[in-house]
């Protein structure tokens, strides 16, 4: 499940952050649309709710939430950069280079990798919302030319 709104706000308050209406708005949009949202998507939502934030502000708030570890920022390739609240448990995606299809996968896939990295390199990986590119079942069977 995802963070609840109240829990989220509480955690932010604890960290001494100012809860401006702009920040609440972006948080609400992220909480509602439990989806991949681009900056434009978020701006559209802002407008739809009768509000109005600068692009700059949206970028700044997303950056802030990302640095705090509440939001993931992921480049989905063709589909560009998207933001999403990091739920628990986390999830990740397989993205087909040919058809663009996006498959959601659980975090289990990455548990071994995480452990290995920790053990072998004493490195604490932040694998929050990975995009793995490749060829899906359908496209893998066709023979894809390089160009």
Partner DNA sequence: TTCCTAATTGCGAATTATTCTCAACTGCGA
Partner DNA sequence: TCGCAGTTGAGAATAATTCGCAATTAGGAA
Residues near DNA (CB under 7 A):
13, 17-23, 39-40, 52-57, 59-61, 63, 80-81
Which residue, among 84, 73, 72, 77, has the nearest Cα to 31 in the 3D structure?
Answer: 84
Minimal distance, residue 108 CB to DNA, in Å: 29
Least CB distance to a second copy at residue 47 (A): 29
Residues 133, 97: contact at Cβ < 8 Å?
yes
> Taking CB under 5 A as the rule, does residue 136 contact Zn ion?
yes
In terms of CB distance, is 1 or 21 closer to DNA?
21
Q: Quote the crossing angle between the two packed helices 39-48 and 55-67, to the nearest 10°.
A: 120
Render 48-98 in DSSP notation, one character per residue: HTT----HHHHHHHHHHHHHTTSEEEEE-GGG-EEEEE--SS-EEEEEETT
Stretch of 49-57, 63-71, 97-105, 125-133 lying at the interface with Zn ion (CB under 5 A): 97-105
Question: Rule CB under 8 A: which residues touch a second copy?
Answer: 15, 64, 67-69, 75, 94, 96-97, 103, 105, 109-110, 112-113, 116-117, 120-127, 132-137, 140, 146-147
């Amino acid at each position: 499940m995802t963070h609840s709104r109240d829990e989220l706000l509480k955690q932010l308050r604890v960290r001494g952050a100012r809860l401006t209406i702009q920040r609440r708005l972006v948080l609400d949009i992220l909480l509602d649309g439990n989806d991949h949202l681009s900056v434009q998507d978020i701006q559209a939502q802002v407008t739809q709710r009768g509000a109005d934030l600068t692009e700059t502000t949206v970028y700044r708030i997303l950056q802030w939430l990302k640095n705090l570890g509440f939001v993931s920022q992921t480049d989905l390739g063709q589909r560009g950069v998207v933001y999403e609240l990091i739920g628990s448990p986390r999830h990740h995606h397989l993205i087909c280079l040919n058809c663009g299809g996006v498959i959601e996968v659980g975090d289990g896939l990455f548990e071994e990798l995480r452990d290995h990295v920790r053990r072998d390199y004493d490195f604490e990986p932040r694998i929050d919302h990975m995009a793995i590119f490749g060829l899906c079942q359908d496209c893998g069977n066709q023979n894809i030319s390089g160009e």
